[in-house]
C-alpha cells in the first residue's frame, strides 16, 4: 500500500467507518501446548480488507487509530466481536482462552480499565477466558497508571501476558510488580534459534526465569521444525506460528485439529 494512504483524509474516514461498522474483524491464531500439540488458546488479531486499499496491515491502521484517538473504539469493537465468537470457539476447544492485544495508549485516563468495567455486568463471567497481551516496554510513559489498571483488571479475573519479552527494554523489577500469568518470547529470538547460540541462550534464560516465577512461556513466530525442536529441547511450554497455523476466522476454527502432531526428531 502506498505509504501516503495512511496519512490521507480518505484513509482516516475509511478507518473510522470500518471501526464503527465492524469492518475490522478478528481472526484467531492458535497457541499450542508443545508437549502434546493441544491448542490451549488463540491470539486475537485485527484484520481489515478495504475495497480501495485492499488488505491493510495492522502496522498501518493501528498507529493511525492511536494518533486519531480511535484506538479505544477499535479495541472495544474487536473485543466485542471476539466475545461473540467465544461460544463457537468453546464448542471446539472448551478450555481455550482468547488473547487480546492492548495498545499502551489505553492506559491514559484509565481507558483500558473502563472498557472492562463497562462490560463487567453483561459479560464479566467471561473475563476468566480472556488474556490481555501487553508490551511491557511500552508502559514507560504511563507506568504508574498502567500498573494500577493491570492490578485492577487482574482482580476482575482477567489474565495478563507480557508480550514481546526481551525485544526492547525490559525491567526485571517490573516483572515483580505486575500480576502477570505468561511471558511471550519475541519472534526475533525464535527466528535465529537454530543458527545462533546467542538466541538460544536468551530463550534458555527467559524460560528459566519464568520457571522460577512459576509462569508459562509462549514462543511466537515458530515456522520450522528446527525451531520447534530447539524449543522442545529448551523446555518451552507453549508456541505459536505458521508452522502450526496462520490466523483463521471463527468460522474455520472447527476445522483445526484438536492436537497437532509433535514428534521431536532424534
Query: In this structure, is residue 46 part of a structural domain?
Result: yes
Instruction: Tell me which DSSP letter residue 264 carries.
Output: -
Please tell me the distance from the alpha carbon of residue 6 to that of residue 9, in angstroms, as a whole number: 9
Residue 262: band (very low, low, confident or very high) from pLDDT cuts 50, 70, 90: confident
Query: In this structure, is residue 261 part of a structural domain?
Result: no
Residue 230 confidence (pLDDT): 93
The residue-averaged pLDDT of 47-76 equals: 95
Is 263's pLDDT higher than 80? no
Is 142's pLDDT higher than 80? no
Helix count and strand count (H, E) for the chain:
10, 9
Task: Compute how many other C-beta atoms are within 10 angstroms of the C-beta atom of residue 160.
Answer: 19
Query: In this structure, is residue 104 part of a structural domain?
Result: yes
Query: In this structure, is residue 166 part of a structural domain?
Result: yes
Please tell me the distance from the alpha carbon of residue 225 to that of residue 123, in angstroms, as a whole number: 40
Model pTM score: 0.92
Q: Which domain holds residue 182?
A: 20-255
**Residue 124 sits in a domain of what CATH number?**
3.20.20.450
Residue 135: band (very low, low, confident or very high) from pLDDT cuts 50, 70, 90: confident
> Which of 247, 238, 260, 255 lies closest to 58 in space, CA to CA?
247
Residues 6+ apart with CB under 8 A from 154: 160, 179
Q: Are 163 and 133 spatial neighbours (Cβ–Cβ below 8 Å)? A: yes
Written as nine digits, the cell of 31 is 497457541
Query: In this structure, is residue 149 part of a structural domain?
Result: yes
Query: pLDDT tens digit string along 204-234?
Result: 998 998 898 888 999 999 999 999 999 999 9
Query: In this structure, is residue 8 part of a structural domain?
Result: no
What percentage of the chain reaches a pLDDT higher than 70?
Answer: 90
Number of structural domains found in the chain: 1
Amino acid at each position: 500500500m502506498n505509504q501516503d494512504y495512511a496519512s490521507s483524509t480518505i484513509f482516516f474516514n475509511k478507518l473510522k467507518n470500518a471501526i464503527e461498522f465492524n469492518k475490522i474483524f478478528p481472526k484467531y491464531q492458535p497457541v499450542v501446548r508443545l508437549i502434546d500439540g493441544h491448542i490451549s488458546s488463540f491470539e486475537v488479531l485485527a484484520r481489515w480488507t478495504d475495497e480501495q486499499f485492499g488488505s491493510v496491515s495492522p502496522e498501518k491502521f493501528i498507529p493511525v487509530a492511536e494518533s486519531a484517538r480511535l484506538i479505544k473504539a477499535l479495541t472495544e469493537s474487536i473485543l466485542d466481536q471476539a466475545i461473540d465468537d467465544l461460544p463457537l470457539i468453546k464448542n471446539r476447544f472448551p478450555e481455550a482462552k482468547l488473547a487480546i492485544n492492548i495498545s499502551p495508549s489505553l492506559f491514559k485516563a484509565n481507558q483500558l480499565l473502563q472498557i472492562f468495567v463497562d462490560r463487567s455486568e453483561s459479560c464479566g463471567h467471561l473475563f476468566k477466558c480472556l488474556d490481555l497481551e501487553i508490551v511491557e516496554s511500552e508502559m514507560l510513559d504511563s507506568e504508574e497508571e498502567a500498573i494500577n489498571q493491570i492490578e485492577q483488571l487482574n482482580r476482575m479475573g482477567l489474565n495478563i501476558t507480557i508480550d514481546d519479552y526481551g525485544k526492547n527494554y525490559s525491567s526485571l523489577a517490573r516483572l515483580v510488580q505486575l500480576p502477570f500469568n505468561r511471558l511471550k518470547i519475541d519472534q526475533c529470538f525464535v527466528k535465529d534459534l537454530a543458527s545462533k547460540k546467542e538466541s538460544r541462550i536468551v530463550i534458555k534464560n527467559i524460560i528459566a526465569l519464568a520457571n522460577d516465577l512459576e509462569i508459562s512461556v509462549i514462543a511466537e513466530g515458530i515456522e520450522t521444525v528446527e525451531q520447534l525442536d530447539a524449543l522442545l529441547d529448551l523446555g518451552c511450554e507453549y508456541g505459536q506460528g505458521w508452522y502450526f497455523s496462520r490466523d483463521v476466522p471463527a468460522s474455520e476454527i472447527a476445522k483445526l485439529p484438536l492436537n497437532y502432531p509433535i514428534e521431536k526428531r532424534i
